[in-house]
């Protein structure tokens, strides 16, 4: 198999990264594209209690196992199957499940800090930053965390003010300067995704 195309999709919390990734994958055969979720690479913390895990700054680069992520990405690029960890947001820790990810022509890594690490950036062929207004992102996160992750309103607001927003300003937003493409996600972005998919297909055909 030819070297796959590695695409990084970064952006702030609830900016619409998952939606953009889903729309990109819709342009391709499911066997031609694999998605790696950076959230699954949060470090395992069996050594501390649930209450202590709730206080971890999950928006700081140190909360991720970047070494494992880099190892897995290199293995995928070399044509090997990987078994990604799986993260359970309801308990703030990894689950015991593994996710089988097969090598493919296109590999997408989605995560707030997917463009933070220089080694990962150097592996990438296309770097995308999904941008959305802070108020919209907060509302989306609020709804998602309450509905899907078992958070209370107070927990979401406290975490957002204490770590999410400061870390976004310090680490996430600066990654935008590394982006090849910036996709605004306050409204429709069909044109941008159409151009992007055409570029990806062009690279595939060249290979």
In SS3 terms, 141-193 reads as HHHHHHHHCCCCHHHHHHHHHHHHHHHHHHHHHHHHHHCCEEEECCCCCHHHH
Domain count within the chain: 1
Q: For residue 38, give its domain range.
A: 5-202
Is 76 a domain residue?
Answer: yes
CA angle 159/91/57 to nearest 5° reads 35
Is 146 a domain residue?
Answer: yes
Measured over the CA atoms of residue 114, residue 118, residue 120 and residue 126, the dihedral's sign is positive
Bridge-partner residues for 35, per DSSP? Answer: 108
Is 67 a domain residue?
Answer: yes
Question: Residue 192 pLDDT more than 80?
Answer: no
Is 9 a domain residue?
Answer: yes
Is 128 a domain residue?
Answer: yes
Tell me what the pLDDT averaged over the chain comes to.
90
Question: Residue 23 pLDDT more than 90?
Answer: no
Percent above pLDDT 90 for the chain: 61
Q: What is the CATH number of the domain that holds 73?
A: 3.40.50.300
SS3 197: helix
Is 33 a domain residue?
Answer: yes
What does the pLDDT look like over 131-177, one tens digit per residue? 988 888 888 888 988 988 888 899 889 888 888 899 999 999 999 99
Cβ atoms of residues 107 and 200 within 8 Å: no
Q: Write phi, then psi, for 56 (nearest 5 degrees).
A: -65, 145
Instruction: Output Rg (C-alpha) for the chain, integer angstroms.
Output: 17
Is 207 a domain residue?
Answer: no
What does the pLDDT look like over 59-106, one tens digit per residue? 999 999 999 999 999 999 999 999 999 999 989 999 999 999 999 999
pLDDT reported for residue 48:
95
Six token digits for residue 81: 């199957």
Task: Give the C-alpha separation, 98 to 198, whole Å.
Answer: 33
Task: Give the C-alpha separation, 114 to 9, whole Å.
Answer: 7
Bridge-partner residues for 34, per DSSP? Answer: 107
Residue 190: band (very low, low, confident or very high) from pLDDT cuts 50, 70, 90? confident
Question: Residue 187 pLDDT more than 80?
Answer: no
Average pLDDT over residues 185-199: 75
Is 43 a domain residue?
Answer: yes
């Amino acid at each position: 198999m030819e070297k796959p195309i590695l695409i990084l999709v970064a952006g702030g919390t609830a900016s619409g990264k998952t939606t953009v990734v889903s729309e990109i994958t819709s342009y391709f055969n499911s066997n031609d594209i694999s998605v790696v979720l950076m959230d699954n690479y949060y470090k395992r913390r069996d050594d501390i209690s649930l209450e202590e895990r709730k206080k971890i700054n999950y928006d700081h680069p140190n909360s991720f196992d970047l070494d494992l992520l880099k190892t897995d990405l290199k293995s995928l690029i070399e044509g090997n199957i990987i078994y990604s960890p799986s993260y359970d947001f309801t308990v703030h820790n990894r689950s015991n499940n593994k996710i089988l990810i097969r090598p493919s022509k296109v590999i997408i890594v989605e995560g707030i800090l997917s463009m933070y690490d220089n080694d990962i950036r150097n592996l990438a062929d296309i770097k995308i930053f999904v941008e959305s207004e802070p108020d919209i992102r907060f509302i989306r996160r609020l709804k998602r965390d309450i509905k899907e992750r078992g958070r209370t309103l107070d927990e979401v607001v406290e975490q957002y003010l204490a770590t999410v927003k400061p870390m976004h300003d310090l680490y996430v937003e600066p990654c935008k300067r590394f982006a090849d493409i910036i996709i605004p996600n306050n409204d429709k972005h069909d044109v941008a995704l159409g151009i992007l998919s055409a570029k990806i297909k062009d690279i595939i055909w060249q290979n």
